[in-house]
Amino acid sequence: MHWIDPDSLPETRGTVTRFLLNPHGELDGFVLGSRQLQQVHFPPHLSRQIARLVAVGDTVRVRGVKPRGADMIAAVSLTLKTGKVILDEGPHRDGEKHHHPDAERSPMEASGEVLLSLFGPKGELRGALLDDGTSLRMPPHAAAELASYLAPGAHVHAWGHGIRNRHGRTVEVDEIAELIDAETVA
């Protein structure tokens, strides 16, 4: 059981506009809104349940914590339009440990404008969401050094290994460059 009482946390409401994938191809968040974007992070052990019950276009209510200095919410509970509640009870139900799927990653590249910086559950910068829906992911120490590349409005080109599935596309970044003349690329 999660140690935080979700009913004591502030509630955010919004419409799911896209899912976010971790480098294993699991859902680990979604984006609320279309103009004012809000990242909602949840642990990957909730991936299957959320994939079954939540769709792009659904309105959800999220109770969670907002880390300092990060524009995101780390979800503790999600309430669906049906009233069903998905509660983060932790990954170790019945002593079972969460295992990431063996996803086949392939060389990928992506380019575009950064719409949203992406953060981990404790507010650490972890990547960016591009305007084509691709998530760029990297370890926090690399992201901290490359923060200007991951800020909204930046135009970047990234290379790495990634995965694409019905929920989206994510690239684990090996190299990244700023696009200087972004208008000639678009």
Helices (H) and strands (E) in the chain, counts: 3, 11
Position 2 scores a pLDDT of 61
**How many structural domains comprise the chain?**
2
**90 plus 113 within the same structural domain:** no
The predicted model gives 163-170 an average pLDDT of 94
The predicted model gives 35-57 an average pLDDT of 94
Inter-CA distances, 168 with 30, 65, 68, 110, 183, Å: 11, 25, 28, 13, 25
| pLDDT of 98 above 80 | no
Position 94 scores a pLDDT of 54
**124 plus 81 within the same structural domain:** no
Per residue in 107-137, pLDDT tens?
A: 999 999 999 999 999 999 999 999 999 999 9
> Residue 27 belongs to what domain range?
6-95
CATH number at residue 147: 2.40.50.140
**125 plus 44 within the same structural domain:** no
Considering only CA atoms, which of 101, 112, 121, 115 is closest in space to residue 47?
A: 101
100 located within any domain: no
Considering only CA atoms, which of 109, 110, 127, 137 is closest in space to residue 25?
A: 137
Whole-structure pTM value: 0.88
| pLDDT of 156 above 60 | yes
Amino acid symbol at 130? L
What is the C-alpha separation between 107 and 172, in angstroms, rounded? Answer: 10
Inter-CA distances, 36 with 31, 61, 168, 186, Å: 10, 16, 20, 23
81 located within any domain: yes
Position 1 scores a pLDDT of 47
159 located within any domain: yes
